Amino acid sequence: MTEALLFMRTFRFRVRLRRSPESAAAAEERQVSRDAARSMAEAATADPALAPLAASARQQAEQQDGAALTDGAFQEVSGLEVSMDVADYLEGGRNDGVVRRAGRARYVPLTFRRGMFHPSGGALRDELWRWLQAVVAGTRPLPRYDGVIEVLDAANTPVATWSFERGLPLKVRGPELNARTGEIAIEELQIVHEGLRLE
């Protein structure tokens, strides 16, 4: 069994973190590039002659992305949910019910469990710890990262993708150190964010 196949049988959720844009205009430009790349990819599946254009659009979208923090994979992901506040308005003269108005959206922290952020060579990747330490130390501007969560099938192909915006680390928990196993995985990572959508 190849190492890549073994990895994918263990980890079914791939996570990519990229530096958030510093301005709203930059964020909008990044989203336009992503939408164009997605549209070209869909067109290329129907017409293979468009594959070079789709590859070019994907490359341009990747160039719009911020600097990478790290890529990795986890066995469990939770927190993919959005709830909304609802305000009740008591309308005068209407006693058989209330008017309900949409309010602010609320997002729960994303929680990733039992993951790996180090290459197959075994060298430890410490970017997540450094990110959390930079936030705690009061680094300005505050380092925020956008992320993409992909659900992968057995062929390592994404079957569902969520993206979140302007994430901050809430908690990073390492493994229980054991000299017999030598594990250096991330046991749990929690990220709070400002927006979540299904791509």
Extents of the domains making up the chain = 3-20+66-198, 23-64
Check residues 35 and 145 and name the one with the higher pLDDT.
145
* pLDDT (0 to 100) of residue 8: 47
User: Which of 83, 78, 73, 81 lies closest to 111 in space, CA to CA?
Assistant: 78
Segment 142-170 shows an average pLDDT of 87
- Give tens-digit pLDDT for 33-54: 666 666 766 777 777 777 776 6
Check residues 151 and 119 and name the one with the higher pLDDT.
151
- Give tens-digit pLDDT for 168-178: 999 888 777 66
Q: Which helix (H) or strand (E) holds 133?
A: helix 127-136
Task: Kindly report the pTM of this predicted structure.
Answer: 0.67
Beta strands in 13-57 (DSSP E): 13-19
Q: Which helix (H) or strand (E) holds 129?
A: helix 127-136
The mean pLDDT of the chain is 76
* pLDDT (0 to 100) of residue 109: 95
> Does domain 3-20+66-198 correspond to CATH entry 2.30.110?
yes
Check residues 142 and 195 and name the one with the higher pLDDT.
195
Tokens 């997605």 locate to 38
* pLDDT at residue 123 greater than cutoff 60: no
